[in-house]
Structure 1
Amino acid sequence: MTLRAKLVLSNLLMGVAPVVVLVVVATTFSGILQDESRAERHGSPHFFETMIRSPNFREAVHRAFVVTQRINVLSLSPQGLPADPAIFQRWDQELASANAGLVVRQEGRLFVMGKLLKDHKLPPLPIFGSFRPPRSVHSPFKIIGNLNFRFSDGTPGAVTVLWNSSNWDREFHTFTFWLIFTFSMTLLVLDTLFTGLILREVLNPLERLRHAAECIADGKLDPPEDFRLRQDEWTPLFTSFETMRRTLAANRELALSYEADRKELISHIAHDLRTPITAIGGYARGILEGVANTEEKRRHYLEIILTKARDLERMAQELFFLSNLDRNAVPYDFQRINVRAFLADSAEELSLDGSRRGLTLTVEKLPSETVFVRADVTKLRTVFVNLAENALKFKRGDSVSWTWNAWVEEPYVKISLSDTGKGISPEALPKIFTSFYREDAARTSSIPGTGLGLAIVQRIMNDHGGRVTVSSILGTGSEFTLWLPLAPLYPAKEDA
C-alpha cells in the first residue's frame, strides 16, 4: 500500500472510528436513561425498588422525619411555633443536602417554599388539614413527609417534605463525561497508532537514505544491504539516489582508469624519451672523447644525433597536437568535400612519397562523384598520413602493399585501408588507439615511432562525428576502416 493510501485511510479511520464509538456509547446510555425515565413515569416496581435502596433516599427520609418531629414538638410547646420564615429556611437547608426540600402553608396559603423546589413544577400537595398525601406518579418530586400543626398565633399550618427522585442532572453529567472520555480516548489511541505508522513509513526510508549517504561519504559506493528500491511515493527519490550512486561509482572507476592511464602514459613518455636522449648523449660523448677519430665517423655520429633530435621534435609536436585535441583547442575548418576527389589526391600524394620507402598503394574502389562529406581537409589528410606511417613501420621485409576501398553505407562513407604488414596480436588490438601504446616487441626493436599516431587518428575521426575500427591477423596484415558521416542535406546514393 502506498504512503498516500495509508494517509487517506488513517484520516478516514480517525474521523469515522470516533464517530462510531460515540454513536454506540450515546445509544447505550440513551437506552438506559429512557428505561429509567419510563420506569419512573409508570411507577414500575423496578423503579421504586431502586429508589428505596438508594442511600440518598434513606438519608432524605431520615432528615424529613427529624424536621417534622421538630416542627411537631415546637408547635405543641407552650411557646408554640412562631410564623418566622427564617426558621423553616434553616430546616430547608438541612434537607437540601439530601436532595429534598419543604413547602410550608399557612391557612392554605403558601408560606415558605424550599430553595430546591423553586422553579419546579411540584406534584399536588396533600389537602390542607389532611394527613394522607396523594400519590404522585408524574413528577420526580416524591412526598416523603407531611405534618399538620398550628402556629403560635393559633393559625393552622402544614409542612410537606418532597424528595427529588430524579437523577437526570447527575446522570446527564455522567453520560456527558463518559461520552467525552470515550471520544477522547478513541482519538488518542487512533492518533498514536496512525502517527506511529506514518512516522515509520516516513522515517524508515529516510534512515535508509541517510545510511546509504554515509556509506557514499565514506567512499563505499556499493549499495548497502538494507537499501532497496521501493514501489511507492519514495520511488522517484530512491531511483534518483541509486542513479547518483551508480554515476559516482562509474566516475570513480573512470577516474581510477584515467589515473592508471596517466601513470602508464608517464612511463611510456619516460621510456620513449630515454632512448633518443641516451643515443644523443652517447654519440655526443663519442665525438668529444675522440671515439669518432675520422671525419667520416664524426659525420655519421652527427647524422644520428640529428635523426634522434628530429624524433624528439616529432614526438613533442605530436604530443602537443594530441593534447590540444583533447582540450578542444585545435580549430576545425569543416568543408563540404567530394570523397572521390579527396581520396584520389591523397592516394597520388602518398604513393609518391611511400614508393621510395617500399609502399605499394592500390585504389580498388571509389564512390561516385556525387558523394560528399563534411570534413577538415588538413586534419583528414593527417589521418591518412598517420595510417601510411603505421603501415610502413610494421611492414614485413622491405615492402608492404596498401589497398584502398571506399563505398557508401548510409549514413556513412566507409573507407577500408588494408595492408600486408606484420599484423597485430589479439591482446594488443584493443589498446592500439591508446596514447603512447606500443607492443613490447616494437619498443625493444628498432621500429621508430612515438605511439601517438593512432591515438590522433581516433580523436580526429571522433571529432568528425565518425569512428575508426580495426581488424587484424597476426602475420598477415591489418585493415583499418574509417567511417565518415555523409554531408547533411545532400543524400548520396552509390552509382549502379
Structure 2
Amino acid sequence: MAQEFKRSYKFAFYTSLFVTLLATLLLLLYEFFAEGFSFGALLLFMLVCYVFSFFIIQLRIEFFIYKRVKEVYDKVSLLESSSLREEQITTDMATLTREIEKFSKGKKLEIEALKIRENYRKEFMGNISHELKTPLFTVQSYILTLLDGAADDKNIRDKYLARANKGVDRLIYIVKDLDMITKLEAGDVNLNKEKFDVVELIQSVFDLFEMKAAKKDISLTFDVDYQKPLYVFADKDKIQQVLTNLVVNSIKYGKTGGTTEISIDNIADKKLLIGVTDNGEGIEPHYIPRLFERFFRIDKSGSRREGGSGLGLSIVKHILEAHQEKIYVESDHGIGSEFSFTLETFKEGNKTKPASKTV
C-alpha cells in the first residue's frame, strides 16, 4: 500500500516542480525588467512556491480524485464476493484498473454461463414436456375411446387397455429415470461397493436382452472366451444399469444382422477397461460432445419410435463419475461406435462391506 501510495507524491513532486519553475521564471523576468533582482529572495520564493504547490496538489489528489476512486473501488469490491475480506483498500489507479478489468472479465464469464444454463433449461423443459406428453396423450386417447362406448366390445377393450398400460409403463420408466438422474446430480445416491465377477454380470445382461437382440438378428457376444472370472470392486446394481443402457443402445441403433461385442482389457494394475462395440449407425463427430446430455437424441423421431427416456447415457455418465471412473466414446458415422469405461479391479485390500459413496 505504502509503495503504491507514493506514486501520488511522485506526481505531486513533478507537478509542483513544473509550477515552481514556471512561477520562478516569470518572477525572474519581472525582477530583471524591474531592475530589482535579488538572488536570496528568488530562492525563498522558489521554496515557498514549491512547498505550497506540493501540498495543494497532494491534498487535491487525496480529497478530490482519491475520494471518487475509492467510491468506485468499494462498489466493485462489494459486487465481487471474493473481494469481501478484511484488507486495506488501495486508491492507486493502476491497481483499480486491474481490479475493474478482473471484475469485468469475471462478470462476463458469469453472464455467458448464465446464458448457457438458461438455454439448457429451456431445452430441458421442452424435452421433458415432449417426453411426458406423448405417452400421456396416448393413454388419454385410449381411455376416452373406451369411455365413448368401445368398452362394450371385449376385444377392443382388452386391446386398448393393453396399449394404455404400455403408455403408463413408459411414463413410469421416464419418471424413474428422472428420479435417478436428479439424485445422481444432487449427490443423493449411495454406492454399495462389493466384489463381483464382471464377466458373469455381462452374461446376465446378454441373457436379459437376448430376445430383443434376436428381433433385429443382432448377436450379443464377447470378443474372446473368458474362462476365468474377472473381479471388480464397484456397486453391482449400478454397473448392471450402465451395461444395460449401453447394450440396449447398441441394439436400438444397431444394423439388422449386426453384432454387439463386449471386450475386457487390463489397462493398469488396478483398472479394467470394458468396451461395448457395435457395427450400427455410428455417430457424427459434432454430436459426440452432447451425447451425455439429458434427453439429447441424434435422430429424434427414430429414437422415440424405439422408446426409452433419453436419459440413459446421462445416467451412465453420472454413475461412473460417482465411482470416480471415466467413460470414452469412439465412433465412425455409418460404421459403428464403441463406448468404453473403466472399473477398479478387486484387490485383497478392498473393503467388501457396503461402502457409501456420494456423487
How does the TM-score come out when normalised to structure 1? 0.52
Amino acid at match of 2:140: G
**Offset at 1:360?**
2.9
- Specify which of 154, 157, 178 is matched with residue 295 of structure 1: 154
Please say if residues 221 and 259 of structure 2, whose CA atoms lie closer than 8 Å, have aligned partners that are also in contact: no
**Offset at 1:319?**
0.6
1:428 alignment partner, SS class: helix
**Offset at 1:418?**
0.7
Give the equivalent residue in structure 2 for 1:88: none
Instruction: After superposing the two structures, state which structure 1 stretch, 252-261 or 315-324, moved more.
Output: 252-261
- Specify which of 240, 245, 250 is matched with residue 386 of structure 1: 245
Superposition pairs of residues 440-451 of structure 1, within 5 angstroms: 440-442=299-301, 446-451=305-310
Cα 1:398/1:278, change in 2 over 3 Å: farther
Please say if residues 73 and 96 of structure 2, whose CA atoms lie closer than 8 Å, have aligned partners that are also in contact: no
Structure possessing the higher radius of gyration over alpha carbons: 1
Q: Please give the alpha-carbon distance, in whole angstroms, between the structure 2 residues aligned to 1:273 and 1:250.
A: 34
Give the equivalent residue in structure 1 for 2:265: 406
**Offset at 1:204?**
8.4
Q: Please give the alpha-carbon distance, in whole angstroms, between the structure 2 residues aligned to 1:370 and 1:236.
A: 64
Give the equivalent residue in structure 1 for 2:212: 357
Q: Please give the alpha-carbon distance, in whole angstroms, between the structure 2 residues aligned to 1:9 and 1:323.
A: 61
Please say if residues 423 and 475 of structure 1, whose CA atoms lie closer than 8 Å, have aligned partners that are also in contact: yes
Cα 1:182/1:473, change in 2 over 3 Å: closer
**Offset at 1:233?**
6.8
Give the equivalent residue in structure 2 for 1:261: 120
2:223 alignment partner, SS class: strand
Cα 1:262/1:368, change in 2 over 3 Å: farther
Amino acid at match of 2:4: L
Give the equivalent residue in structure 2 for 1:433: 292
1:375 alignment partner, SS class: strand
- Specify which of 176, 194, 200 is matched with residue 345 of structure 1: 200
**Aligned pair 1:192/2:56, yes or no?**
yes
Superposition pairs of residues 305-320 of structure 1, within 5 angstroms: 305-320=164-179
Cα 1:370/1:248, change in 2 over 3 Å: farther
Instruction: After superposing the two structures, state which structure 1 stretch, 461-470 or 320-329, moved more.
Output: 461-470
Superposition pairs of residues 274-293 of structure 1, within 5 angstroms: 274-291=133-150
Cα 1:233/1:274, change in 2 over 3 Å: same
**Offset at 1:303?**
1.6
Amino acid at match of 1:347: I
Amino acid at match of 1:279: T
Q: Please give the alpha-carbon distance, in whole angstroms, between the structure 1 residues aligned to 2:151 and 2:93.
A: 82
1:251 alignment partner, SS class: helix
Q: Please give the alpha-carbon distance, in whole angstroms, between the structure 2 residues aligned to 1:233 and 1:488.
A: 60
Q: Please give the alpha-carbon distance, in whole angstroms, between the structure 2 residues aligned to 1:243 and 1:410.
A: 45
Please say if residues 415 and 481 of structure 1, whose CA atoms lie closer than 8 Å, have aligned partners that are also in contact: yes
Cα 1:301/1:427, change in 2 over 3 Å: farther
Cα 1:207/1:413, change in 2 over 3 Å: farther
Cα 1:13/1:439, change in 2 over 3 Å: closer
**Offset at 1:310?**
0.8
Please say if residues 233 and 345 of structure 2, whose CA atoms lie closer than 8 Å, have aligned partners that are also in contact: yes
- Specify which of 318, 321, 329 is matched with residue 180 of structure 2: 321
Please say if residues 292 and 313 of structure 2, whose CA atoms lie closer than 8 Å, have aligned partners that are also in contact: yes
Please say if residues 402 and 420 of structure 1, whose CA atoms lie closer than 8 Å, have aligned partners that are also in contact: no
Which of the pair has the greater relative contact order for Cα pairs under 8 Å at 6+ separation? 2
**Offset at 1:442?**
3.5
Identity of counterpart residues, as a percentage? 21
Cα 1:432/1:287, change in 2 over 3 Å: same
Cα 1:245/1:178, change in 2 over 3 Å: closer
Please say if residues 232 and 345 of structure 2, whose CA atoms lie closer than 8 Å, have aligned partners that are also in contact: yes
Q: Please give the alpha-carbon distance, in whole angstroms, between the structure 2 residues aligned to 1:291 and 1:435.
A: 39
Cα 1:367/1:355, change in 2 over 3 Å: closer
**Offset at 1:423?**
2.3
**Offset at 1:263?**
1.5
Give the equivalent residue in structure 2 for 1:480: 339
Q: Please give the alpha-carbon distance, in whole angstroms, between the structure 1 residues aligned to 2:12 and 2:285.
A: 68
Please say if residues 465 and 485 of structure 1, whose CA atoms lie closer than 8 Å, have aligned partners that are also in contact: no
Please say if residues 436 and 450 of structure 1, whose CA atoms lie closer than 8 Å, have aligned partners that are also in contact: yes
1:407 alignment partner, SS class: strand
Q: Please give the alpha-carbon distance, in whole angstroms, between the structure 1 residues aligned to 2:107 and 2:317.
A: 27
**Structure 1: runs of 5 or more not aligned:** 18-174, 218-231, 492-496
Cα 1:284/1:401, change in 2 over 3 Å: same
**Aligned pair 1:462/2:317, yes or no?**
no
Q: Please give the alpha-carbon distance, in whole angstroms, between the structure 2 residues aligned to 1:266 and 1:393.
A: 25
Cα 1:284/1:186, change in 2 over 3 Å: closer
**Structure 2: runs of 5 or more not aligned:** 18-38, 81-90, 351-359
1:446 alignment partner, SS class: helix
Q: Please give the alpha-carbon distance, in whole angstroms, between the structure 2 residues aligned to 1:489 and 1:203.
A: 68
Give the equivalent residue in structure 2 for 1:3: 4
Cα 1:262/1:363, change in 2 over 3 Å: same
1:310 alignment partner, SS class: helix
Q: CA RMSD in A?
A: 4.5
Cα 1:472/1:411, change in 2 over 3 Å: same
**Offset at 1:455?**
0.9
Q: Please give the alpha-carbon distance, in whole angstroms, between the structure 2 residues aligned to 1:323 and 1:386.
A: 17
The one-character-per-residue Cα deviations of 1:262-286 (angstroms, maximum 9, x if unpaired) are 2211211221122112221222233
Cα 1:421/1:239, change in 2 over 3 Å: same
**Offset at 1:473?**
2.5
Superposition pairs of residues 157-168 of structure 1, within 5 angstroms: none
